[in-house]
A and B are shown apart, each in its own frame.
Chain A
């Protein structure tokens, strides 16, 4: 704990003793019978004192509440911050029946979920009618906010301190400035210190003299937040009569160059962000297409049920979450191999019962597998209903990695990129390093020769199709975190996945990877200018035109098999 906090708390602790006596008198005199009845008649332990002080808030006037709030803060009780924060956010209530004070977790919930103010333990629920809010007004809130800020500024956790400083910077006045300056002198954490320096610089822009302003502008010119940029831009504004708001030309020119510096940095970051969005969209495209790159690219089978195999993967996540509702974080991990197995088995079944009779007849395969996709959709509709199912997102997937104020990466996008890379590497390893991969490549290159060498081509066909389908299932797990899980999930992705494979070049996994990634990036580059739908249409039309020019895709397959169509 920092010295200043101790000083301050110590100093504060000395004066409310008179208040304590008053509390005792008040306690015995008022209607707080239950409270007193529950504890020994005279308040002794710190908890009792604290609860009593909090209890005073019920009937006090706004100005009295200020004093009480200060005392609550001064008590040094571990729950003081929670109580004051609750008061600030209008979440401090007392129960009409026994006058007991509670913190409620949310003012929107009905009934309220109660929290015991001393222990911060869960205290059940109560109907809204039976509770009365401990009211605040603007003046009181300002005082309490400062008090809470003081608290949090002294917190041992740097993250809490950082948040407190950011909060205070939003509404700077002399009082908070002093508080922050005081803190700056003793702050040890670099991030918090940086934030304080920034805040002070922002304050200096308003109140400082010319050298202070210039120094502040210099310091702020490396910042990227829009707050700083907009504040600096106000120096360049003109009054209606044409004169500048800021009379000092030196300050104006410093501000101008600072704004352009900031804009340049922000432009770079937004470029990086667009690139990252594009790569994450591209990863999704690669993921949905890579299973198809096996079944279509390697085997030449047009599997229109590919999207529905992804749908099966997504529903696998749903079922796994139903089975393990208490371990949502783990459920997605568990679902990945399961989805591979479910979709893979469905794929093997499809190959054995339908597709193997149609080898060499691509158009018929297309129609038959389309029929299968309709049956799968209706099956899912019959089992899980036609409505979308709610798949929960684990906490570890839902956060954001804030690189800086201008650039943030959401975890789910990051994990999608990583997952796609893992799937791609694993698939390459299977094809290049295992016996099955060798067989698959042999059959794809020359079926009759492979057969003559003793490879069971029928078995390899089934396994290849199962592999591609299983990967579709794993893609479905990823999609369950990005989009609605419903019977139409597959249909909305099937055209995209075919376009990626055809664009990249049939029979070439690297082509699929590069094709999908570049489609994603181009789509995201176009979006700011054209909007999401037009960007997608533009990409589709560009692909249609591209296929006219290079009918075999970006990386055409060489050799004899390319002539087969």
Chain B
């Protein structure tokens, strides 16, 4: 059985993706089996995080690129979706301006900035969710990998990139709502975002996206290219001397990873109902890395499991003992790196596929 845990992961995912919406929609409220909309939003959020963790694991676990800027791709995808949702509000905003979002009216802007054109169409926004993170990853990755920036240097400049984007998005003049970001969304493709039915469908779609991302990543790392990528992780110079174009492999992997992160962000925004520049904060990117480390890097399903585990713990702890959360997270960082280099997945018996 080559990938037993991966299969288990997919089965659990399918059960959640079908079961959770059903428990919310088909079971009457008040029943013991009823799933509240709040719980459904949480599950949806966790699955978006799991996708992000998958993206980070793809580059870090399989190619040794520790990106501390993946939250930026996530946020960019989220912003692209947010722009679509903002334009869907139309005349229903506080100021009732059919064309301009509220914050632009508030800033006395006369017309829509050029980069907002097209976002009133879903297909355009959906394309941007993919294109914008991919473009950033392509430019950044091309520059970085071509000049062989590796290891911690790469980590530090990815972090700086994310930080610079955060500072930029905090500015009102950028045209992305400043520090308030986007919120008060009304509907998506005509479906009311407050309706539980829409949320149930969104959850199912998120589960589907996570499953597809997993399958795609799995296929990628199992392919011949995936083996080269792992070879780069274990011995970059040696792979180069063997005649492989290391930069090209790294660049494509980085772009694919950024696209997965962007899609995760675009699914995240309609479910949580807000996107603001703090999503770019360096700590977010680093937190993603710790999800992956806790779950077990280089396994994909481990990264997803880690994201869900850590975030579940975060929800419980920040609710019950807010003081303790940072201690717990900090301790988790230290203990996992010191004592659990393979993550919790490493504790499972009979892992046939150690990559």
Residues in chain A within 8 A of chain B (CB atoms): 302, 354, 357-358, 362-368, 370-375, 377-378, 381-382, 491, 495, 498-499, 502, 533-534, 536-537, 540-541, 543-545, 547-549, 551, 565
Contact = CB atoms under 8 A, between A and B. Distances in A.
Interface residues of B, number: 43
Contacts of A368: 333-334, 337-338
Interface in B305-355: 323, 326-327, 329-334, 336-338, 341
Contact of B330 (A357, A371, A502, A544): A371
Interface stretch (B103-111, B156-164, B191-199): B156-164
Given A358-B337, A543-B160, A372 B151 contact: no
B330 A382 contact: no
9 contacts: A354-B338, A358-B338, A362-B151, A371-B290, A372-B333, A491-B283, A537-B168, A543-B157, A565-B151
Most buried by B among A370, A378, A541, A565: A370
Interface in B266-293: 282-283, 286, 289-290, 293
A378 B327 contact: yes
A551 B330 contact: no
Contact of A363 (B152, B159, B327): B152
A378 B318 CA distance: 13
Contact of B160 (A364, A382, A495): A495
B143 interface: yes
Nearest to A538: B164
A309 B330 CA distance: 15
B164 A537 contact: yes
B147 A551 contact: yes
Interface string B162-190: 01100110110000000000000000000
Contact of B326 (A366, A377, A551): A377
Given A366-B155, A367-B289, A533-B170, A540 B160 contact: yes
A537 B167 contact: yes
Describe A's contact surface by its main secondary structure: helix
B144 A548 contact: yes
Nearest to B60: A363
A502 B338 CA distance: 26
B155 A363 contact: yes
A502 B168 CA distance: 22
Given A378-B327, A495-B160, A367 B147 contact: no
A534 to B, nearest CB: 7
| Pairs A-B, 10 closest by C-beta atoms | A371-B333, A374-B330, A375-B330, A378-B326, A540-B164, A371-B330, A548-B143, A371-B334, A368-B337, A364-B337
B278 to A, nearest CB: 12
Contacts of B329: 371, 374
A365 B289 CA distance: 13
B148 interface: yes
B148 A551 contact: yes
